[in-house]
């Protein structure tokens, strides 16, 4: 079992110079004297990536290899030094965490999916899940802003040609840019077939008209992946096409930043596309293959949403455990009361189970196996554990838990969206049940 301390891990005193000599701790700030990607860490991870995949294929293991431990350590230090001290400010003001994301890019914690051929780390889903959990421990609003890059990049990684990857993925490794995944609309979220945004071929260009909603990084993106209907008569699987759209294209209008219940650091807004001309070279994959491409991205990103939920659930557990040792009633710490102790035990079981489901979904993808069923399981389960743990943490804090001077009310507000974005918990259950019943009809008793 992958052991975790219940109390928040203290800052590791040793520097990261063994893995990245250019990275050092200065006071409370992690500074990277950036050479340009690839950094020393990048090269070391690249060198060991293939052997790590081979080793992971040899059998069940619940441990991380040395490179993954170093990556986890880097992400954990970054979270302690850069995210946790500033999370309350961004939650209170709604200010986008541009400086934090820039620093994350500088130390190599952004854009982890981008293949080596296009200047990136080319890391697997499990590696990314390890980083995501650590960043989410600090603030899931900031983590969501970071991971939205991965969601937008996934369709390009899956279906882009070399020129598209060089242009749109390559630029992400040259500067701390953001990008966004534009699929959801005001009247179509889970019902992708109901999308109303249209793309019409006119000469050598496609003209886009329509509106998207709840777009993470919508106002900060350098480019968008967009799904639009290109064939009114085709079924859902062939009716849509994916496009890469430069954010500065004429005809794009940004809506206001939405003030949401939680994850306030994230930039979420509507975007209107009015006669936006897109060159043929920006069609992603084949015309009519957009739905498959957009849905295929979720096999990569849903385990990472689950990892974010694990990070929040773990933070809730840590805060509740520490508080239960400090707060006294009836002459003793409340942790001594069985009612509280059992709540903490349930929270710990949820974190461990969620992480194992998440890592399995990620491991399957990294090893070339279909993981849709497991990704949906991990996403649904971890999302609900995050909400339960956050609510239980508030309960353990009592009246203090309801107050913004304490950290757990933010966790409760931030947790809810995990059950909604990238497919609601109900959609995940639809995927799971259909897969299960299809297997049962085929005579399989275990998937």
Distance CA 357, CA 91 (A): 29
Concatenate the DSSP letters of all residues of 80-104 into one string.
IIIIHHHHHHHHHH----HHHHHHH
* Helix pair 140-159, 125-138: axis angle to 10 deg: 160
Contact call for residues 141 and 86 (beta carbons, < 8 A): no
Distance CA 215, CA 182 (A): 6
Q: What is the CA radius of gyration of the chain?
A: 22
Helix (H/G/I), strand (E/B), else coil: 294: helix
DSSP conformational letter for 397: H
Alpha-helical regions (H) of 165-258: 236-239
Contact call for residues 371 and 365 (beta carbons, < 8 A): yes
Distance CA 290, CA 297 (A): 11
* 174 catalytically annotated: no
Distance CA 392, CA 106 (A): 36
Total Cβ atoms within 10 A of residue 95: 14
Residue tagged active-site, from 67, 133, 384, 422:
422
Q: Which residue, 184, 188, 108, is CA-closest to 151?
A: 184
Total Cβ atoms within 10 A of residue 35: 10
Distance CA 200, CA 178 (A): 27
Helix (H/G/I), strand (E/B), else coil: 267: coil
CA geometry: angle at 34 spanning 31 and 37, to 5°? 130
- Token pair listed for 437: 């019943």
Distances (CA, A) of 204 to 10, 200, 230, 290, 295: 58, 11, 15, 19, 27
DSSP conformational letter for 285: S
Where are the extended beta strands (E) located within 258-392? Answer: 268-279, 283-284, 328-329, 332-333
**Which residues are designated catalytic?**
422
């Amino acid at each position: 079992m992958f052991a975790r301390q219940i109390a928040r891990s203290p800052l590791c005193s040793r520097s990261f110079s063994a893995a990245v000599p250019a990275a050092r701790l200065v006071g409370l700030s992690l500074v990277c004297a950036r050479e340009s990607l690839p950094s020393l860490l990048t090269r070391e991870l690249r060198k060991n990536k293939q052997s790590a995949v081979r080793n992971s294929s040899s059998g069940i293991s619940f441990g991380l290899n040395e490179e993954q431990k170093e990556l986890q350590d880097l992400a954990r230090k970054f979270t302690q030094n850069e995210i946790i001290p500033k999370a309350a400010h961004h939650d209170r003001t709604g200010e986008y965490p541009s400086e934090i994301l820039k620093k994350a890019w500088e130390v190599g914690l952004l854009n982890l999916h981008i293949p080596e051929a296009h200047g990136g780390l080319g890391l697997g889903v499990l590696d990314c899940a390890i980083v995501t959990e650590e960043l989410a421990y600090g603030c899931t609003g900031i983590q969501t802003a970071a991971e939205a890059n991965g969601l937008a990049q996934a369709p390009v990684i899956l279906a882009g040609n070399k020129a598209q990857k060089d242009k749109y993925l390559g630029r992400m490794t040259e500067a701390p840019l953001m990008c966004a995944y534009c699929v959801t609309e005001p009247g179509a979220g889970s019902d992708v077939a109901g999308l109303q945004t249209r793309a019409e071929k006119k000469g050598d260009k496609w003209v886009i008209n329509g509106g998207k909603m709840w777009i993470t990084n919508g106002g900060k993106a350098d480019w968008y992946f967009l799904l639009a209907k290109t064939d009114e008569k085709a079924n859902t699987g062939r009716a849509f096409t994916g496009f890469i759209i430069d954010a500065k294209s004429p005809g794009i209008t940004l809506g206001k930043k939405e003030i949401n219940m939680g994850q306030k650091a994230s930039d979420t807004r509507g975007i209107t596309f009015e006669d936006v001309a897109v060159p043929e070279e920006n069609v992603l994959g084949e015309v009519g293959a957009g739905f498959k491409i957009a849905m295929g991205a979720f096999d990569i990103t849903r385990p990472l949403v689950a990892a974010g939920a694990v990070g929040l659930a773990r933070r809730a557990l840590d805060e509740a455990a520490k508080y239960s040792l400090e707060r006294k009633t009836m002459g003793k710490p409340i942790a001594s009361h069985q009612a509280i102790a059992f709540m903490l035990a349930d929270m710990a079981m949820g974190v461990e189970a969620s992480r194992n489901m998440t890592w399995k979904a990620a491991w399957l993808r990294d090893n070339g196996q279909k993981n849709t069923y497991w990704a949906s399981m991990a996403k649904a389960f971890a999302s609900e554990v995050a909400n339960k743990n956050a609510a239980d943490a508030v309960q353990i804090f009592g009246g203090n838990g309801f107050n913004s001077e304490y950290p757990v009310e933010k966790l409760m507000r931030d947790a809810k969206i995990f059950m909604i974005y990238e497919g609601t918990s109900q959609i995940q259950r639809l995927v799971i049940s259909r897969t299960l019943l299809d297997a049962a009809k085929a005579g399989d008793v275990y998937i």
